[in-house]
């Protein structure tokens, strides 16, 4: 009986040891596989972390586009300012250069014998009527021939109360040579206009020079 129990106990212990050994080997293999899996996943996680944290690849193109857009806008604004500055300078240059000329022409016409009333130093309304009327082509030609043809100008004479107004233009000018939208400069001098033998009134004589391709 004792011998039988010993044999059975030995068999039981052998089976138990074998089972424990297999379980240990299985656990060891699983641990090794787990360790290998962790070692394999580490570079992948690191790469993913770098890909998610490195935002330069996404932001740099937008930053470059924004910089280019700002540079283009800045250049356009600068070009517009320079253009306005140049045009403003050109306009002022024309006015400064031609205002003195307009003043000299106005002074000469104010003392022109052809416009005077019997050498009295007064402008004659009758003469102004002749120069500005439809039959005064010869008078107008002689008047403008006394000045350089480099200047395109007209003459206006007004009474101080605005009741009387005369305008003298050259007949050889183009129809749109004195259009309202053209650039021009004007200078005026005070005059006295003799309307009739009994009445003289103050007024102004104005010379308006228009800009052309040569001035």
Secondary structure class of 121 (helix, strand, coil)? coil
Secondary structure class of 137 (helix, strand, coil)? helix
Check: CB of residue 210 under 8 Å from CB of residue 93: no
Any idea of the CA torsion for 192, 123, 127, 204, to the nearest 10 degrees?
A: -60
According to the model, what pLDDT value does residue 120 have? 77
Check: CB of residue 98 under 8 Å from CB of residue 209: yes
Check: CB of residue 205 under 8 Å from CB of residue 155: yes
According to the model, what pLDDT value does residue 6 have? 38
According to the model, what pLDDT value does residue 17 have? 47
Instruction: Quote the tokens at residue 60.
Output: 């740099």
Closest listed residue to residue 164, CA positions, set 125, 124, 107: 125
Q: What is the pLDDT along the chain (215 residues), one digit of tens a residue?
A: 443 433 344 444 455 445 544 555 454 545 455 555 455 445 544 444 444 444 444 445 556 677 766 666 765 665 555 555 544 445 578 888 899 999 999 999 999 999 998 767 899 999 999 999 999 999 999 999 999 888 999 999 999 999 999 999 999 888 788 888 888 999 999 999 999 989 999 999 999 999 887 65
According to the model, what pLDDT value does residue 168 have? 96
Burial (CB count within 10 angstroms: exposed 0-12, middle 13-18, buried 19+), residue 177: middle
Rounded-to-integer distance, Cα 167 and Cα 145, Å: 17
Can you tell me which residue has the tokens 């790469």? 47
């Amino acid at each position: 009986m004792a011998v039988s129990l010993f044999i059975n106990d030995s068999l039981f212990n052998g089976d138990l040891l074998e089972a424990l050994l297999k379980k240990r080997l299985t656990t060891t293999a699983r641990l090794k596989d787990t360790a290998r899996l962790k070692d394999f996943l580490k570079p992948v996680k690191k790469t993913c972390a770098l890909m998610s944290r490195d935002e330069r690849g996404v932001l740099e193109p937008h930053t470059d586009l924004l910089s280019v857009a700002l540079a283009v806008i800045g250049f356009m604004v600068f070009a517009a300012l320079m253009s306005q500055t140049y045009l403003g300078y050109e306009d002022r240059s024309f006015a400064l250069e031609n205002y003195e000329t307009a003043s000299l022409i106005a002074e000469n016409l104010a003392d022109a014998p052809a416009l005077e009333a019997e050498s009295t130093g007064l402008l004659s309304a009758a003469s102004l009527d002749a120069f500005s009327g439809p039959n005064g082509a010869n008078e107008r030609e002689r008047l403008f021939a006394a000045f350089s043809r480099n200047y395109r100008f007209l003459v206006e004479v007004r009474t101080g109360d605005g009741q009387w107004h005369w305008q003298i233009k050259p007949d050889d000018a183009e129809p749109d040579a004195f259009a309202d939208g053209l650039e021009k400069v004007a200078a005026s001098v005070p005059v006295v206009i003799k309307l009739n033998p009994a009445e003289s009134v103050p007024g102004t004589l104005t010379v308006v020079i228009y800009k052309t391709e040569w001035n």
